[in-house]
C-alpha cells in the first residue's frame, strides 16, 4: 500500500474516532432519546461537545479535498516522496486538529489546520508538475 493510501486510511479512522467521540458527548449532554431523535430542538450543548461537533463539520468539509488529492496523485502516477510526506503530514495534522479544537488550543488549532491545508495543496501541485 502506498503512503498516500495509508494516510487516507488513517484519516478515515480519525474521522470514525471523531464521530464516535462527538456522539458520545452528545448523548451525555442530551440523553440517548434526544440523540436518537431528528435533533430539531436539542438543548444547549456543553462547550466541548459543541467544539467536537464543529471539528466534525470541519473534518467532513476537508476530507473530500484530501481524498481528491490522493486519487489525483495515484491515478496520474505522480506519487513521490513529496506526496508521501504531504499525505502523512495531512494525516498527522488532522489527528492533532481534533484535540486542538476540542480543548481550545488557540492559536494552535489554526496553525495545525493550515499545515494540513498546505499539505493537501502540495499534493495537488505535485500531481501537475
Please check whether residue 8 lies inside any domain of the structure. Answer: yes
Looking at the structure of the chain, the number of domains it has is 1
Please check whether residue 12 lies inside any domain of the structure. Answer: yes
Please check whether residue 67 lies inside any domain of the structure. Answer: yes
Enclosing domain of residue 8 = 3-35+48-128
Contact 116, 65 (CB under 8 A): no
Please check whether residue 85 lies inside any domain of the structure. Answer: yes
* Cis preceding-peptide flag for 107 (omega within 30 of 0): yes
pTM (2 decimals)?
Answer: 0.93
What is the mean pLDDT of the segment spanning 5-12? Answer: 99
Please check whether residue 23 lies inside any domain of the structure. Answer: yes
Please check whether residue 42 lies inside any domain of the structure. Answer: no
Report pLDDT digits (tens) over 49-95.
999 999 999 999 999 999 999 999 999 999 999 999 999 999 999 99
Please check whether residue 40 lies inside any domain of the structure. Answer: no
Distances (CA, A) of 44 to 25, 34, 48, 50: 12, 12, 12, 9
Please check whether residue 43 lies inside any domain of the structure. Answer: no
Amino acid at each position: 500500500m502506498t503512503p498516500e493510501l495509508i494516510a487516507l486510511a488513517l484519516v478515515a479512522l480519525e474521522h470514525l474516532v471523531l464521530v464516535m467521540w462527538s456522539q458520545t458527548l452528545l448523548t451525555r449532554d442530551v440523553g440517548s432519546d434526544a440523540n436518537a431523535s431528528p435533533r430539531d430542538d436539542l438543548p444547549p450543548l456543553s462547550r466541548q461537545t459543541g467544539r467536537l461537533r464543529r471539528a466534525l463539520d470541519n473534518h467532513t468539509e476537508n476530507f473530500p479535498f484530501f481524498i481528491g488529492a490522493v486519487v489525483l496523485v495515484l491515478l496520474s502516477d505522480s506519487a513521490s516522496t513529496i506526496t508521501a510526506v504531504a499525505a502523512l503530514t495531512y494525516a498527522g495534522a488532522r489527528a492533532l486538529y481534533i484535540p486542538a479544537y476540542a480543548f481550545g488550543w488557540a492559536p494552535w488549532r489554526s496553525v495545525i489546520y493550515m499545515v494540513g491545508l498546505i499539505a493537501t495543496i502540495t499534493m495537488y501541485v505535485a500531481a501537475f508538475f
